[in-house]
A and B are shown apart, each in its own frame.
Chain A
Amino acid sequence: MAKYIFWRILQMIPILLGITLIVFLLVRVSGDPVLLMLGEEATAEQIEALTKSLGLDRPLYVQYLSYLGDVLQGDLGMSLRYVNQPALEIVMERLPATLTLASTALLIAILISIPAGIIASVNRHGLPDYLASFLSVFGQAIPNFWLGIMLILIFGVTLQWLPVSGWDNPWSVLLPAFTLGASLSAVLTRILRSSLLDVMGQDFIRTAHAKGVSPVHVIFGHALRNAALPYITLIGLEASSLMAGAVVVEQVFAWPGIGLLAVQAIGSRDMAVVQTIVLFAAVIVMSINLIVDVLYSFIDPRIQHG
C-alpha cells in the first residue's frame, strides 16, 4: 500500500507540470500586467523598463523554464499586487480558510446525504422518497450564489441567527459551507439512493434476511458498505466542483479564502498568485482522489492496490 501511494504521488508530477504550463500560458494570454500596474498615462520608456525588470521581455519558453526552475526550488514568484510579498506566503495565509470551508461543506453534504439516501431507498416510491428526490433536484438546480444570498437574507438579515460575512467566529462558516455543500448533498443523496436500491436487490441481502438479521442491521451492517463505492467515487469527482464553487461562495460571503484571492489576483493580473492558487487547487483535488482510491481497498476487499 505504501508503495502504491508513493507511486501515485510520483504520478502527480507530470500532471502538475502540464497544469503549470497551461496556467502559465493562459495568464499571459489574458493581458499585460504591466499596463495594468502603470495605468493609462505610462510612457513607453516606463513600460519597457518595468517589462524588462519583471523579465517579461524574454521569449515565452525562457520565461516558463525559469519559472519552472524557481518552482522546483520552492520559489513560486513574487506578487505583483502586494509589493515584496512572495505569492506562496499570500496563498498559504488564505489556504486554511478555504480548507475549512470546503471540508465543512463536505461534512454537511455527507451528514445530509447518508440519512436522506437511506430513507429515500427504504421508502422507495413513498412520500420520503419523493420528498428527497424533490429536494435533490432543487439542490442541484439552484445556483449557489442565489442560494447564498437567500440564506443571508433569511438567517442573517431577517432572523439574525448567524453571521453573514467574513470569518470572525466558528459559526461564520455555517452559511457559506451549507451554500457550497447544498448541491453536493443533492447529488450524493441521489447516488446513495440508487446505489442502495441496487444493493438491496442483491442475493446476499436475501441471505441476510434468511439468517434472521433485523432490517436495520441489514442496511447498516450489510448494504451500506457495499453501496459506498459509487458514493465515494462521486465525492472524488465532485472535489473539483467544490473548489470551483468555493470561488463563487467566497465572493458572496466575503470569505477570506483562496477563492476570493483568486478573483482579485486575476483582476489585477497578479500572475504569480494566480499560478500558485491553481497549483494548490490541483494538488488538493488530486490528493482527494488519491484518498478516495485508497479508501476503495478498505471498503471493498476485492480491490487490491499494489
Chain B
Amino acid sequence: MNQILQDTKPIDGTGTGTAVLQVSDLKVSLRLNRHRKIDILHGIDFTVNQGETLALVGGSGSGKSVSSLAIMQLLPEGTDITGSVRLDGQELLNLDTKRMRQLRGSRIAMIFQEPMTSLNPVHTVGRQISEVLRIHGGITASAARTETIRLLDRVHIPAASSRFDDYPHNMSGGMRQRAMIAMALAGKPRVLIADEPTTALDVTTQAQILRLVRELQDDEGMGVLFITHDMGVVAEVADSVAVMRDGRILETGTTPELFAHPADPYTRQLLNAVPRLGSMANEPAPLPFPDETGHVERPAVVESPSEAPVLEVRNLVTRFDKRAGLLGRVQQRVHAVEDVSFSLNPGETLSIVGESGSGKSTTARSILRLNEPTSGNILLQGTDISAMPKSRLRTMRRGMQMIFQDPYESLDPRVRIGETIMEPMLTQGTHNRSEARVRTDELLELVGLSAGMKNRFPHEFSGGQRQRVSIARALALEPAVLVADEAVSALDVAIKGQIVNLLLDLQARLGIAILFISHDMSVVERVSHRVAVMLSGRIVEIGPRASIFENPSHPYTRKLLAAVPIPDPALRGTRAIPEEEIRKTPLYPIDHIAPPSRYTPVGPEHFILDES
C-alpha cells in the first residue's frame, strides 16, 4: 500500500561532483530570412553533475525547452546554435550529424511532456523500446526482447512480459510515461533530459513518476536535467535549480538555498505564486494570490449567501451509449455522471475536483446542456432547464456562461476580439450594435485589458490575455453563474494567479456564482467556498472548503491531497505516495441499474458517499 519515500542521499547539491553535462554560453537564434534573426537563448550556462538533478524552471517562452532541444540538437532547421555543450568532457556542438545520432538515445536520452503523443501509435511499446537497443547495442531481436522486458519491469510496469506486445493506446498515461522512461534508459544514458514529464499526468500518477525518476537516478547514477514550470515538482526532485526567463538564466542555486533565499525578484515571484496546500488553514473566505511584492489584496467580504440557490442540480445522470456491431446497437453505456446533486448560491464558488475521466467536465457540460443529460433536474434561478426545448434554452443560456481551458483554441482566430465579445449580446438581442460596442469597451476594462484592444485578433494576445478575453465574452450577458472548466490549468503560474485574482475580484464586485472545475488542488483551496470531489462519475465527498482540506474523510480525497507536490524541499520524502491504480472507465451493460448516491454527514454541510 502506501509507502514512505526514503531519501538515500542528502540534498546538498554536491553529489559526486563529477560534471556529466556542461553547458556554457549556449546561444540559439532563429533565422527569419537572410538578414533577420531572433535570439531565443542569450548565452546560458549550467552544469549537471553525475547522480544529480538540475531543474530548469521558467514560464512558457522562457527558453527552457529550446535549451533541451539545443543540447540534443533536435531543433528544426533554420536555427543557429553556438556556445559549448560538453557531455563527459566531449564537445557535442561540433560533432557531425551521424556521430551525434549515435549519442542520442544512448549516452544522452530524453523524455517528453505528452506520453499520449510521444509514442508511435502503430508500433508496439516493446518494439519501440527494443529499437533503441538494436540501433545502439547491435544485439539480436530475441536478446533485445529479453532486455526490453527487463526494462519494462525496471520501470515497474506490472506483468512486463505480457505488455511487450501492447500498443500505446492499450496503456494509461502513467504507463505510457513509464514506457517512455524505459525507452530512455535502454541506452544506459549518462544524462537524462526530462521535459515537463509529469505536466500532462494526473496528480497521483505524477507522484509515482517523480518517485520512479529519482529511484532510477540513484541506481544508475545518471545526471538528470529536469525541465518544469512547477515549483512543487522542483522541491520534490531537484538537487539544484536554474531559473530561466526570456532566454536567460537569472539565478542558480541548490534547491534548499534557492527556496529559502531567492535572490532574483522573478524567482521570488515564482515562489510566491505557487499555491501551497494548507496555506488557507485559517482563512474563512477565498483569498487572491499575492502580487509581485507579496502583498495580498483581500476582497471585500461577499454578503453571506443567504438567498435561494442560483443553481440547483438534482440527481443529474449523463450516460453515453457505446454502440457496437454492424447495426450499431447500444451494447454498453459509459456512466459519465451518475446521480450528482449539489446547489450553488449567489456569490459562491463551488469547485469540482477529480482526476481525468472522473466526470467533472461532463458534469459542467451537462448542466449547460452542451451534453444532453440522461435524467435529473437542473434549476437555474428556480427554472428547470433540464427538459426545456432548444428554442427557450438559448434565452436561458444568458444566465449561465462558460470559460474553457484552452485560450488558444476557444477563440476564433479570424474574428477580432471585440466582435467575439459583442456576439453574444447581438445574438441574444440584449443590446443593439452601438450599445454592444460601449459594453465591450467596459468589459475589456473590467477584465484588465483596454478598450483600444478590441480590434486585435486573438494571436496578438498572450495566453493570459486571451483568457481575459474569454472571461469578458462570458460576462457580456451578465450571467448569474460562470462555469470555469479548467480555466487556469493551461496558464503559467504567475498568469494563473492573475486570472484567479480577476475571477475573485469579479465575483466580489458582481456577486456572480462560480462553478470551478479543476484538477489542481492547490488552486481549488485558494478560490473555493465549497468543494466537491468526483470519482468515476459520482461526487464522493462534498463540503465547505476548510472542512474538506482539514478533514478529508473519503479515502480518495485523502489520496488526492497526499499526491500534491509540496513546494518545500525540507518536506521532501516525508509524505506517503499513493499507489498508482488503473481506474477503468465506468462502462456498464445496458441493463445495469446504478444504485443511487447516498451520503453520510461527517461534519456541518460535509458529506461523504456511502460505499456499497
Contacts and interface: CB of A to CB of B under 8 A. Distances in A.
Nearest to A209: B74
Given A210-B109, A212-B136, A204 B118 contact: yes
A212 B122 contact: no
A302 B120 contact: no
B118 A203 contact: yes
Nearest to B123: A222
Interface hub of B106, B114, B121, B167 (most chain A Cβ within 10 A): B121
Contacts of A208: 120
B530 to A, nearest CB: 39
A212 B121 contact: no
Given A7-B326, A214-B101, A301 B110 contact: no
Contacts of A204: 117-121
Contacts of A65: none
B428 to A, nearest CB: 39
Contacts of B102: 212
B453 interface: no
B119 A207 contact: yes
Contact of A210 (B72, B120, B169, B326): B72
Contacts of B324: 306
B183 A211 contact: yes
A225 B122 contact: yes
B101 A210 contact: no
B74 A207 contact: no
B379 to A, nearest CB: 41
A301 B120 contact: no
A213 interface: yes
B132 A211 contact: yes
B118 A206 contact: yes
B135 interface: yes
A11 B326 contact: yes
Interface residues of B, number: 30
A202 interface: yes
Contacts of B110: 210
Interface in B135-159: 135-136
Interface in B69-123: 72, 74, 101-106, 109-110, 112, 114, 117-123
Contact of A207 (B103, B106, B120, B326): B120
B218 interface: no
A49 interface: no
B101 A299 contact: no
Contacts of A7: 326
Nearest to A222: B120
A118 to B, nearest CB: 17
A226 interface: yes
B104 to A, nearest CB: 4
B410 to A, nearest CB: 22
Contacts of B120: 204, 207-208, 222, 226
Interface residues of A, number: 25
A300 interface: yes
Contacts of A213: 101, 105, 131, 135
A213 to B, nearest CB: 6
B167 A212 contact: no
Given A214-B101, A226-B120, A207 B132 contact: no
Contacts of B74: 206, 209-210
Contacts of B326: 4, 7-8, 11
Nearest to A302: B169
B112 A203 contact: yes
A202 B121 CA distance: 11
Contacts of A207: 112, 118-120, 180, 183
Contacts of B109: 210-211
Nearest to B110: A210
Contact of A301 (B103, B131, B167): B167
Nearest to B326: A7
Nearest to A211: B105
B175 to A, nearest CB: 16
B135 A211 contact: yes
B548 to A, nearest CB: 37
Contacts of A11: 326
Given A210-B74, A213-B135, A301 B122 contact: yes
A21 B56 CA distance: 71
Contact of B132 (A202, A209, A212, A214): A212
Nearest to A199: B120
A212 B112 contact: no
Contact of B121 (A211, A221, A300, A306): A300
B71 to A, nearest CB: 11
A145 to B, nearest CB: 40
Contacts of A225: 122
Interface hub of A4, A7, A210 (most chain B Cβ within 10 A): A210
Given A203-B112, A206-B112, A212 B119 contact: no
Contacts of B180: 207
A187 B24 CA distance: 49
Contact of B105 (A212, A222, A300): A212
A300 B104 CA distance: 28
Contacts of A222: 120, 123
Contacts of B167: 301-302
Contacts of B135: 211-213
A278 to B, nearest CB: 26
A268 B324 CA distance: 48
Interface in A193-240: 202-204, 206-214, 221-222, 225-226
A222 B132 CA distance: 13
A25 B119 CA distance: 54
Given A301-B167, A302-B167, A210 B121 contact: no
A226 B101 contact: no
B323 to A, nearest CB: 12
A201 to B, nearest CB: 9
B25 to A, nearest CB: 24
Nearest to B327: A7
A199 B169 CA distance: 17
A170 B120 CA distance: 42
Contact of A211 (B104, B114, B169): B104
A203 B114 contact: yes
Interface hub of B105, B106, B119 (most chain A Cβ within 10 A): B105
A8 B325 CA distance: 11
A203 B121 contact: no
Interface string B273-291: 0000000000000000000
Contacts of A212: 101-106, 132, 135-136, 187
A100 to B, nearest CB: 33
A233 B185 CA distance: 38
A225 B101 CA distance: 23
B242 to A, nearest CB: 22
Contacts of B105: 210-213
9 contacts: A207-B119, A211-B104, A212-B105, A212-B132, A213-B105, A213-B135, A300-B121, A302-B121, A302-B169
Interface of A: 4, 7-8, 11, 202-204, 206-214, 221-222, 225-226, 299-302, 306
Given A207-B180, A210-B109, A212-B187, 12 more contacts: A202-B117, A207-B118, A207-B119, A207-B120, A208-B120, A210-B112, A211-B105, A212-B101, A212-B136, A213-B135, A226-B121, A300-B122
